[in-house]
Chain A
Amino acid sequence: MTDARAGFRIRSAGKHALLIAACILMIYPLLWMLVSSLRPTEVIFRSPGLWLRDITAENYVLGWNALTHPFSHYLLNSGVVVLGSILGNLLSCSMAAYAFARLRFRGRNFLFAIMLLTIMLPIHVVIVPQYILFSKFVWVNTFLPLVLPKFLATDAFFVFLMVQFIRGLPKELDEAARIDGCGHFRFFTRIVLPLMTPAIAATAIFTFIWTWNDFFSSLIYLTSPDNYTVPLALRSFLDSSSGSNWGAMFAMSILSLLPVFLAFLFGQKFLVKGISTTGIKG
């Protein structure tokens, strides 16, 4: 018995060792950035290695205060945009997905194709007309152009994702609900949504991460530095024509990775929750 157990331990230790090696390879660039944030700026580019000789926290202190506001101001801005986007996406995309996946109505096919079409056009040619549109509404330099579209299911990616998940739910559920006299809305909120938890978790995580990292739209719509989100604020440390504050930028980049990383760690729990179909199939 003990031999088999020892064998298992060795195999699993081996697996862990391999995984850890793979991890280090995967995140080497990030480790380098972390290490560089602890080096003074002048020294950063002289060494591609990870060995820390003169550790200093000055980049964090300086970087936090280098811009007009302490960096927490920009983290908060990003937080507002991100939370609004997550809420918007979850609400609107799930509704649209339910319609496409489970409801039957004229033109469904056509509208689904249109929806996919909207993500096939590169943003650079749509942004100018969009900007002109938002500028006519005088929404420029507010968070509205970034958050409001999320409440209108403009992220077709998540609609499609949820459609695929809903289609994975057995049709018996629908029939049972109909027999029980359950209307679409109750069916949607009471049964479909809870069963789609992995898709919802994925949507929330991705919305968080992509909105947190969005640069181009934020650049165009947020003109005043007071409204800058994190990616814009990070750019403020740099200027390729006059010398940049790399240490501070790396330090603040590491700091801004933390919320995303934590969101991901936390959100994983919901990805893990699987569905138990014994009650339904039986």
Chain B
Amino acid sequence: MKGGWRAGVLGLAAALAPLLAGCGRGGAESGTVTLRFSWWGNDKRTQVTLQAIEAFQKKNPNIRIKAENGDWGSYWDKLATQGAGNDAPDVIQMNESYIAEYGKRGALLDLEKAGVKTDRFAPGAADAGRLKNGLFGINAGINAPAYMANPKIFEAAGVPLPDDRTWNWDRMADTARRIAKACPKGTYGMENPVGVEPVFKLWLRQAGKDQYGELGMAWEPADGAPFFEWAKKLASDGATPSASEVSEETAKPIDQTLAATGKLAMWSQWSNQASAVEKVAGTKILLLRPPSATGRCADNKTWYKASMLWSASAKTRHPKEVAAFIDFLANSQDAGRILGTERGVPANLDVRKAVEPSMSETDKRVAAYLDAIASDLGPVPIVTPVGGGKFESILQRHGQDVLFGRKSPAAAAKALHEEMKGLLK
């Protein structure tokens, strides 16, 4: 009787498992296919997405879509856990920083092979989701790095708005200094770029390098040091917020930042977030091209990005239906009109034309901005490789070390480079 009960318990477990596995979620009624669809976003995005699902279901009565939406912060933990359990949703809203992590490891479906069309996309837009081993994400909205300006603060400071076709980084810094001096304490000329990935990337590209290349890292510590030095000087000059304020900014959601609350004159932001910021700031926000090193906007080497992408789980049991749904989201004018520009400007040019008349004033300006920078584009950047997804938070950490005086700019650039090299596999 010694080990008897133990054996009994284990036997019980073994006996129960298949029984319980049998009484699982109810099977689908014959003929209906159910797809699980996950995305992140606020309640406004949830609203329009649910409407789009409705429209699709009307056209395809044998396909049901189950919504599994959440917020950005918890989205990735959930997806990773589901991925580990081979349980990921059929249709997944994806981000450029993670697409390689999932795509290169076989967790995503090759959408080109599955039949999603991208031939009506703006040139280059489809490549946003292309990895060496296939097309794993369909561009759900185009955006690009932009600098935003709050004209009210410029007015109050008596400083003229800069000409974004001819400004360079030094001129921007000067403008920022002038504004900070003329404004009350707590209002600054510009954000501190030390933790902003797109600005860092612009600096690398304008120096002829880039963040990533075919073989991994495409920059050296010596390329990163000037960036940290410049950021440090900006902070000590008072043009940008203090070190504490800068580190506090990184923890704030978009509608509580200094920019949104009217305390910054200029800052960088992804173009598709303009209306969110405008709403909270309560004033019109201008979109400016990023500065260049030379003062000629054609040299600013900016790029188009997909604000988010539509991906699918490689383990889905319904690849045809999944492809049909993604095709609907990306290429149908109905979907385009419902979803609007909430996720960015539609990549499909026909859809974009159909949506244009109903765009809000802000979104029209965003679309105009994207068109205007078409002539400034640098080479198409490589999709963030495996291991690179957390670059921005790593950059922020080293940037904080610089601003708080714990590391010299050169040491920080070296540490950043080493850490990224270790993560890229």
CB neighbors of A among B95-136 (8 A):
none
How many residues of chain A have a CB within 8 Å of chain B?
Answer: 37
Interface positions of A from 53 to 91, Cβ below 8 Å from B: 66-68
Are B81 and A45 interface neighbours, CB within 8 A?
no
Enumerate A232-258 residues with CB–CB distance to B below 8 Å: 232, 235-246
Is B70 in the interface zone, CB < 8 Å from A?
Answer: yes
| Residues of chain B contacted by A244 (CB below 8 angstroms) | 42, 253, 255
The reply to whether A141 and B253 contact each other, CB–CB distance below 8 Å, is no
> A278 interface residue, CB < 8 Å from B?
no
Q: By the criterion CB–CB under 8 Å, are A243 and B71 in contact?
A: no
Question: In the assembled complex, which residues on chain B have CB atoms less than 8 Å from the CB atom of A220?
Answer: 77-78, 81
Instruction: Contact check, B280 vs A239: say whether CB atoms are below 8 A apart.
Output: no
Nearest-Cβ distance from residue A107 to partner chain B, whole angstroms = 11
Docked-complex contact B276 and A242, CB < 8 angstroms? yes
> Taking the complex as formed, is A180 at the interface, i.e. its CB lies under 8 A from any CB of chain B?
no
Q: Mark interface residues in B54-68 (1 if CB within 8 Å of A CB, else 0).
A: 000000000000111
Please, could you name 6 A-B residue pairs with CB atoms under 8 Å apart, sorted by A?
A135-B86, A137-B17, A137-B21, A223-B36, A241-B273, A243-B253
Give how many A-B residue pairs fall within 8 Å (CB-CB): 115
Query: A219-B77, A241-B40, A242-B42 are known contacts. Are A235 and B71 too (CB-CB below 8 A)?
Result: yes
Known contacts A136-B17, A235-B71, A238-B71; 15 further A-B pairs (Cβ under 8 A): A45-B261, A128-B85, A131-B81, A136-B21, A219-B77, A223-B36, A223-B89, A239-B42, A241-B72, A243-B44, A243-B255, A243-B276, A245-B42, A245-B43, A246-B255
- Which residue of B has the minimal Cβ distance to A219? B74
Cα separation A151 to B184 with both chains bound (whole Å):
61
User: Beta-carbon contacts of A119-141 to B below 8 Å, as 1s and 0s?
Assistant: 00000000110011001111111
A243 & B280 in contact (Cβ 8 Å cutoff): yes
Collect the chain B residues with CB atoms within 8 Å of residue A246's CB: 255
Contact mask A165-190 → B, CB, 8 Å, 1/0?
Answer: 00000000000000000000000000
Is B216 close to A, CB under 8 A?
Answer: no
B20 at the interface (CB under 8 A from A): yes
A225 within 8 A of B: yes
Which residues of chain A are near B171, meaning CB under 8 Å? none
Q: Write the B185-225 contact mask toward A (1 if CB under 8 angstroms, else 0).
A: 00000000000000000000000000000000000000000
Bound Cα distance A137, B82 (Å) = 14
Tell me the smallest distance from the CB of B399 to a CB of chain A, in Å.
19
User: Cβ of B70: which chain A residues have Cβ within 8 Å of it?
Assistant: 219, 232, 235-236
Chain A residues whose CB sits within 8 angstroms of the CB of B42 once the complex forms: 237-239, 242-245
Q: Which residue of A lies closest to B24 (CB)?
A: A138
Given contacts A219-B74, A225-B68, whether A135 and B279 have CB atoms under 8 Å apart is no
Q: Are B40 and A127 in contact (CB under 8 A)?
A: no
- Residues of the A chain whose Cβ atoms lie less than 8 Å from the Cβ of B279: 243
A239 touches B81 (CB 8 A): no
Across the A-B interface, the 10 shortest Cβ-Cβ residue pairs: A138-B24, A240-B253, A243-B276, A239-B42, A135-B85, A239-B71, A241-B72, A243-B255, A137-B20, A132-B85
Residues in chain A near residue B20, CB distance under 8 A = 137-139
> Are the CB atoms of A242 and B81 closer together than 8 Å?
no
- Judged by a CB distance under 8 angstroms, whether B31 is at the interface is no
- In the bound assembly, the distance between CA atoms of A168 and B86 in angstroms comes to 49
Q: How many B residues have CB within 8 A of the partner chain?
A: 45
Question: Inside 8 A of B389's CB, which chain A residues have their CB?
Answer: none
**Given the complex of chains A and B, what is the CA–CA distance between A236 and B72 in angstroms?**
10
Instruction: Identify the closest chain A residue to B342 (Cβ).
Output: A242
B283 to chain A minimum Cβ distance, whole angstroms, is: 12
Q: Which residues from chain B sit less than 8 Å from chain A, CB to CB?
A: 17, 20-21, 23-25, 36, 38, 40-46, 50, 66-74, 77-78, 81-82, 84-87, 89, 253-256, 261, 273, 276, 279-280, 282, 342
Chain B residues contacting A139 (CB-CB under 8 Å) are: 20, 24
With A219-B77, A235-B74, A240-B71 as known contacts, state yes or no: A131 contacts B85, CB within 8 Å: yes
A141 close to B43 (CB less than 8 A): no
Contacts of B24 in A (CB 8 A): 137-139
Chain A 203-228 per-residue mask, 1 if CB under 8 angstroms from chain B, else 0: 00000000000011001100111000
A67 touches B78 (CB 8 A): no
Q: Which residues of B contact A68 (CB under 8 A)?
A: 50
The residue in B38, B66, B85, B86 that gathers the most chain A C-beta atoms within 10 A of its C-beta is B85
Inside 8 A of A3's CB, which chain B residues have their CB? none
Chain B residues whose C-beta falls within 8 Å of the C-beta of A136 in the assembled complex: 17, 21
- Give the docked Cα–Cα distance between A186 and B280 (Å): 65
Q: How far apart sit A219 and B24, CA to CA, in the bound complex (Å)?
A: 20
B389 to chain A, nearest CB (A): 15
The chain B residue with its CB closest to the CB of A144 is: B20
Residues on A with C-beta less than 8 A from B50 are 68
Inter-subunit contact A67/B43 (CB<8 Å): yes
Any B CB within 8 A of the CB of A104: no
Q: Which residues of A contact B87 (CB under 8 A)?
A: 131, 135, 140
User: Does B78 lie within 8 Å of A219, measured CB to CB?
Assistant: yes
With a cutoff of 8 Å between Cβ atoms, the chain B residues found around residue A215 in the complex are 74
Q: Does A269 contact B (CB under 8 A)?
A: no
Judging by beta carbons under 8 Å apart, are A242 and B254 in contact?
yes
Partner of A127, one of B81, B276, B280: B81
Instruction: List, in ascending order, chain B residues with CB within 8 A of A141's CB.
Output: 25
Q: How far is the CA of A128 from the CA of B85 in the complex (A)?
A: 8
The CA-CA distance from A138 to B87 in the complex, in Å, is 10
Q: How far is the CA of A68 from the CA of B38 in the complex (A)?
A: 15
Partner of A138, one of B25, B72, B73: B25
Q: Which residues of B contact A224 (CB under 8 A)?
A: 66-68
Instruction: Report chain A residues within 8 Å CB of B77.
Output: 216, 219-220
Q: Identify which of A42, A219, A239 contacts B45 (C-beta below 8 A).
A: A239
A281 within 8 A of B: no
